Each structure stands twice: as structure tokens, then as C-alpha cells.
Amino acid sequence: MHSLVFHNIRSHKRRALAAGVAVVIGIAFLTATLLLGNAMTRGIDDLFAEGYSGTDVEVRSTEVIASGERDIAATIDEALVDELAAADGVAAALPVVEGIAQIVGSDDEPIGGNGPPTMGVNWVDSDRNPYVVVDGRAPVAPGEVVIDSGAADTGELAVGDATTVRVPEPVAVTVVGIAELGSGEQLGGVTFAWFDTPTAQSLLLGDPDGLYAVDLQAEPGVSAEELRSTIAGSLPADLEALTRQELIDEEMAALEADFLGFFKTFLLAFAGIALLVATFSIHNTFAIVVAQRTRETALLRAIGASRRQVLTGVAAEALTIGTLSAVVGLGVGVGLAIGLNALLGALGAGIPTAGLGLTVGVALTALVIGVVVTLVAAIAPALKASKVAPIAALREAAIDQSGSSVVRAIAGAAVTLAGAAMLVFSTDIGSSPMQIAALGGLGVFVGVILLGPVVARLAAAVIGAPVAALRGQNGVLARRNAMRNPKRTSGTASALMIGTAVVALFASLGTSIKASLGDLIDESFGGDLVITPEGFSGAGLSPAMSAEIAEVPGVESIARLSVAAMLIDGRNDEPLATDFEQLAGVADLDVVEGDLASIGDGGFAVGVDYAEAYGLALGDELTARFLDGSTEPLTVGAVYANDDLMGDNIVDARVWERHAATPEDIVVMIDIADGASLAAVRADVQTVVDGYGSPLLQDSDEYLEAQGEQIDQMLGLVYGLLGLAVVIALVGIANTLSLSIHERTREIGLLRAVGQTRAAVRSTVRWESVIIAVFGTVGGLALGTTICWGLIRAIAATEGFGTFAPSVTTLVVVLVVAMVAGVVAALRPAGRAARLDVLDAISSD
């Protein structure tokens, strides 16, 4: 049997190649994903290790409060530097000042801020400083700054250039130096602005005697653990000491929980989709091959081969093809990873290329998954082959009854209906509509796959009807070929169905989210202009800017929104801080109790859900606690129903700003006076904005469009990754057609003998491919859109907003592209069918 297995592979290389291509593509993407994820983890870990190489132990405050996109820690007293420097085992104690500082490039555009932090720090003169000045000198006075080489390249800045750094106040500075890590590596996208220590304390902390932390360097022979143990015993309860490794682990854990973890999960999800699609393609290929070898298998059974031997033979063939394909896919994946990393580098998010080496773990994972996927896909065909009776060798042909299984029809209908019921009633069942809707979507998906062979004949007949009507006898033959084997047609279309379903799901989710945002802004925002930072991880907006804008003629109301770092009755609720009177002029929060405009100093407003959750009513008092250790009472002055735009709670800005050393706004909303010219007021406001580092000034329509563009960018990445799954599915269609042509060799020969031209043969095969592609695409689009509908309903139930708006344009484009792709997928099989020699085809067995 083993000799027969290898003989079959050698004799039918095209079949083996057809089965292996899908595995190669899927494993290549999986390998690239694993390599990139591992490289990112190792590369960033190495950079953190280098960045902390000058620190053995760090002492900092334990008081930390989340504030928007980042955590804010309490400052510690500068006097601690001298105290710690005198401790046993300490060679040096260095002050550390950190904050947000966004550098403005030579084109007056802020650098970074779209994810990676824009750091402001103090320059430390130490022979263990991991950063070295590669051009210029260190900063020694106010108005001087050293920037990292990456920011210098991006912003086209050089030593001696004058620029601005936003902290968030715009600070005019001169670049006196350019620095980078000693290795020359950069942490993609992160920017650094170094000041002298007194300037950094003033700009970043707003406290001339405060520090973010104190870094300690151990004396020779003293380990970091020993130094930490020595120091920790003498620290007050609100301070902690961490070793270098603990700092690195903390940074990596935060990154893993945020960007890095999401990125790896995101790529792995699409690798999984690609492999799922590949599984369908492999299964279909083996099913056709086994069907074509029915007589051969029956003869083997007739001369004494057992069912176990036949089963083992097919499994061994799958094992061989899976192993070889996985090895090839592994090599292709390494090249793909290098290409993807180059693309990330071009987009400003590259990783150290030294971390892209192939590891044993990645290689074994890819190989094992490739083999397992192939074996799983081949199980059903192998079992079918083992059941072939010896008498089948005497039959001329088998009749396909795959689509008429009553059990399949009942099971598929039951699973589909159960999933649909969960989608429809997810908001009425239990307390987790999203989980129920997601489970329902999975049920509908599985049910549709089960029903595929049951409905394939009818679907092919309906889809093929226009083809038969417009293309004459060629169209009739294409339609009948698609109908004749419903299981094969369904299996081939299922791979494409998966890819297009996910495309439809994400496309409709994207347009629905944009529509929901539009409704939300229309309902809640009544202003005319919006100012936001460019990016979400850079410096915020200066409160001084809003004060200037308030003096612009024609500006009636201007509401500043900040994220307040405080605890409310011990809870880190991250409330927004604003002037309630101004907010009432630009936003409609649907107040059900109290009056926003009348809330004064010490006031607090809460959403109805928040009020219900914590038993709050108008006039109730709460306690706010701040990083400086002080507390203030808050009084509930309003309860509002529309909490989608402003969140669960809002505090009076004066409360927050009494305890904020460097307050900043995250958005400014402006309402102009009746009768004032929007264009004229906007021009005057733009003049003010330009003096504060050029944040974005938009009207409400532009603001909504900008939010939509971010969603479109994410969808663009999704479409690019899903394109791989669609390519695998199209390869599966081409494989199926190629193998089915081999199966229909005599049939094609007879058609050619009675007068069908080569062009007609090619046309027949192409239209059969189009019918299959449209079947899979229409099913996928309907499936993805239906699941999206259920998820949006669940979101609306849990979040209070959600508008279902399917992406009609995208769905139509995908359908048209699928039809064209069906033609492309059929080019090679159609050409092969047309080239068959008539006499050889008629005499084939």
C-alpha cells in the first residue's frame, strides 16, 4: 500500500499539487503571523531591556489613576534623590521626569500620536544612560531640547532648528541634539523629547520639586534584587521599588494587553480563517480524487485489500501531501514575514529585523498544523474510500445522491433555525446579548454549511437560469454541470462563502458603526465646530487656547472636555470635566432631572444607568479623591439619559483643575452665535488654533467624516487580509474544475466529436465556475450581513446606540469581483478542457 501511495502521487502530480496549494498558502500566512508576533515580542523586549539598562531599581509612587488613554501617577519629592543616594549599595540616584510631549515637525504638523506614545523626559548625564547624543549636545537650559533620530527624520528637523513641543501648551524650543539608543534601534512610532531636569519638571509635571521616579544604580557586586530589598524596607507605604526586570515585564504586559496582544490576535484570527478556507478546499480536492479512483479502490478491495489498508493509504497520501506542502508553506511564510515587516516599516511601525529569525517552535507549530489540517480535511474522503465495495469495479458510474440526505437536511435546518432564533431574540435572552448573538451567528454559519449540498442543486439551477438563457447550449451545459454534483458544488462554494461572509460582516459593521456615530453626533452635538488633537496618544489641547477662542467675535459657547484623573467614592470612573453652562450650549444630553446650566463649582452630573447602578439621585453627595491625596465633595446636579457621547459621569472643570498640575483637553466644541458667518468665525478660530501646534479644527460634518476614515482604514487592512482567504477559495474552485475535467474527459470528448468547438468548451467551463462563485458569494454576503444585523441589535441593547446600515456598495462590488474571479479561476481548467484530443478523450476510462 505504501508503494501504491507514492506511485499515485508521482503519477498524478497535478492532483497532489491541487491539494497542496491551499495548504501552502494557509501555512505561509500562519508562519508569517507567528514570526511577526514573536519578532515583535522579542524585538520590543530587547529594546525595553536596552532602555532600562541604566537602571537597576526604580522607586516611584504606588498612587496611579487611569486617565483616558494612559495612567497618571502621583509625583514624588525631589528630596528623595539625596536620601536614596546615601543608602547602602547605591552607586547613583538619578531623577526621572516623564510626561507627554509632542514634537511639531518642520511642516508645522505634530509628529506621532497615533498609538505609540509621544514621550517627554529629562536628560540624565550618566555613563549608563542607554541613549547617546549622536549629533549636537545635551539640553542645559530652558528652550533647548534633544529629540530622537526617528522624530528628526519624520519631522525633517536638524540641530539648530527652531520648532514647537506641545506639553500640551506649545513651547518654542531649539533642537540642540539628536539622540538614539546605543544600538541604533528605534521603538517604532515612539517619539522622545528630552529637556534639562528643571525644565522637564516645570513643563511635564507642573511641579518644580516633583519627580516621576528615582532610578538607582547599584554598586559593583550588588544585585538588583539585593538593592531592592535594601531600599524597600525604608520606603513609606505610598512608594514602591521595582527591579529592572520587573519594569521590563510591566511594560511588556501593558503592551501585550494593548497593542501587541491585539495585533497578534488580529493576525492569528485571519490566519485561522485562511486555514479554515484551505480545509474546505483540501477536503473538496480529496473528495473528488477519491471519487475518481472508485474503480481503482474497488479493484484493490477485490484482490484482497482490507478497508483499513484503503483508509491508511488515503491517510498516508494526505500525510505526505500535507507534510511537503507545510514545508513549502513554511519557507514562503518566512519571505512573507520579511515583506510584511518591510511594509510595517514603511508605515512607521517597523520592528527590529534581527528578531525575524525562524525558531524551532514556529517551525514545529506550522508543520504540525499543516499536517493536521490536511489529515482532518481528508478524513471523510478516506472513510468513504474505505467503504467502496469490490462490486463497484464493475460499475460504469456512480449516481450522486449527496444533496438528498434527509438527515443532513433536518440537521442543517435545525442548527440554522436555532442560530437564527438566538440572533433575533438575543436581546430578550439572558443578560449577555452580545455573547448570545455571536453564538447565534456561529450557529447560522454551521447550519448554512450543513445545508449547502441540500440547496446547491436548486441554487445552481436558479443562478444558472440567466446563463442558460443568454449563453445558449453552452450555458445550459454549464448550469447542468453545476447542478449534477451538489455536494461538490457546495464544498467548492463553501470556501468562498467563508471569505465573503467575513468581508460582508466587517463591511456592514463598519458602515453601521459610522451610521451610529452619525446618529449619535446628530442627537447629542448641537455645535458648529470641533477641535481635537491629531491622533489619540499625543499631547492634548491647551486650555489657554480655548480661553483665546472664547474671545473670538461670533463664538457664543465653547465647551472644553477633559478626562479627570480622580476616584469617585473609590471608583476609577474616568469622568469628563467641563464647564456645565458652556456644555449646555453645545450638547443635548436629554437631561431628565436637574439643569446642566445651573450646576456650579463642585457639581456632578450622571447618566441614568450610572445613577441606577449606584443608587444616586439629584442632590446626593459623593467624594472625589485626587493623586495629591486631597478629597472634595461632589453634589449630583443633573441626571441625563443621553450618555453615549459624554459617558456615565461629568464633573465640574474647576474641581479637576484645582488638582491637575498640567490640565489638558481632549476635545473642544464650539457653537457660534445666530447670524454670525461660520466661514468668518472658523477662519478667526483657525488663526488661534495655528498658534497651539495646529490641532484639527473641523465642522460637525468633517468631524464625522474623520471618524469614518479611521474605520475605513481598519477595513482596508481587513480587506487586504481577507483577500488571502478569497484567493485560497478561488484556488479551490480552479482545483475542483481541473479535477472534474479529468473526471469528465470522455464526456468532453463526445461533445467535441458531435461538433462542440474549443471556444464552446472553454465557455462552458468558465460559466460553470461563475455559477459556483456566485453561489458561494451570494451565500457568504447574505450570511455575513445577517450576522452583522444580529450583532448590531445586541450592541444597541447593551450600549444604547446602534444603527444597522449594510454596506450595499461593498456587497455589490464583492459580487461583481467574485464573478470576474470565477472567470479567472476557470481560465486554466477551461484551456485544458479545450485542448483535449477528441480520440484520446473518447477512448479514456
| DSSP class per residue in 14-78 | HHHHHHHHHHHHHHHHHHHHHHHHHHHHHHHHHHHHHHTTT-SEEEEES-EEEETTEEEE--EET
d(CA 243, CA 59): 9
Residues contacting 702, CB < 8 A, separation 6+: none
β 591-594/631-640 pair status: antiparallel
> Quick one: pLDDT at residue 357?
65
- 552 Cα distance to chain centroid: 42
Amino acid present at 789: W
Tell me the DSSP string of 347-397.
TT----GGGGPPPHHHHHHHHHHHHHHHHHHHHHHHHHHHT--GGGGG-S-
pTM of the model: 0.76
Cell numbers found for residue 318: 494526505
d(CA 22, CA 318): 13
Yes or no: say if 101 and 533 are a contact pair by the CB < 8 Å rule.
no
> Quick one: pLDDT at residue 398?
46
d(CA 247, CA 235): 18
ω into residue 453 within 30 of 0, thus cis? no
β 144-148/170-181 pair status: parallel
CB atoms < 10 A from the CB of 237, how many? 6
Per-residue b or e along 425-444, where b marks 16 or more CB atoms closer than 10 Å to that residue's CB: ebeeeeeebbebbbbbbebb
Q: Which residues, listed in sequence order, are joined to residue 591 by a DSSP beta bridge?
A: 640
d(CA 619, CA 622): 10
Yes or no: say if 664 and 657 are a contact pair by the CB < 8 Å rule.
no
Q: Which residues, listed in sequence order, are joined to residue 633 by a DSSP beta bridge?
A: 623
Amino acid present at 241: A
> Quick one: pLDDT at residue 449?
85
Q: Which residues, listed in sequence order, are joined to residue 605 by a DSSP beta bridge?
A: 638, 650
Helix (H) or strand (E) holding 556: strand 555-563
Tell me the DSSP string of 465-494.
HHHHHHHHHHHHHHHHHHHH-HHHHHHHHH
Residue numbers of the chain with a pLDDT score lower than 70: 1-16, 18-19, 68-69, 187-188, 259, 291-295, 343-357, 388, 391-404, 430, 717, 721-722, 724-725, 732, 735-737, 739-744, 799-801, 839-845
- 481 Cα distance to chain centroid: 41
Yes or no: say if 826 and 474 are a contact pair by the CB < 8 Å rule.
no
β 603-607/57-61 pair status: unpaired
CB atoms < 10 A from the CB of 234, how many? 11
d(CA 753, CA 168): 82
Q: Is 180 helix (H, G, I), strand (E, B) or coil?
A: strand
> Quick one: pLDDT at residue 683?
94
Closest CA to 414 of 371, 448, 367: 448
β 144-148/191-195 pair status: antiparallel
Tell me the DSSP string of 634-688.
EEEEEEES--TTT-SEEEEHHHHHTT-SS--BSEEEEEEPTT--HHHHHHHHHHH
Amino acid present at 98: E
d(CA 409, CA 45): 53
Q: Is 425 helix (H, G, I), strand (E, B) or coil?
A: coil
Q: Which residues, listed in sequence order, are joined to residue 192 by a DSSP beta bridge?
A: 119
Amino acid present at 602: G
Yes or no: say if 377 and 412 are a contact pair by the CB < 8 Å rule.
no
> Quick one: pLDDT at residue 283?
75
CB atoms < 10 A from the CB of 59, how many? 24
**CA distances, 286 to each of 313, 314, 367, 729, 761 (Å):** 13, 9, 20, 15, 25
**CA distances, 455 to each of 280, 450, 737, 787 (Å):** 18, 10, 20, 20
Residues contacting 417, CB < 8 A, separation 6+: 447
Cell numbers found for residue 175: 533642537
**CA distances, 314 to each of 7, 17, 297, 393, 400 (Å):** 12, 16, 10, 18, 21
Yes or no: say if 725 and 273 are a contact pair by the CB < 8 Å rule.
yes
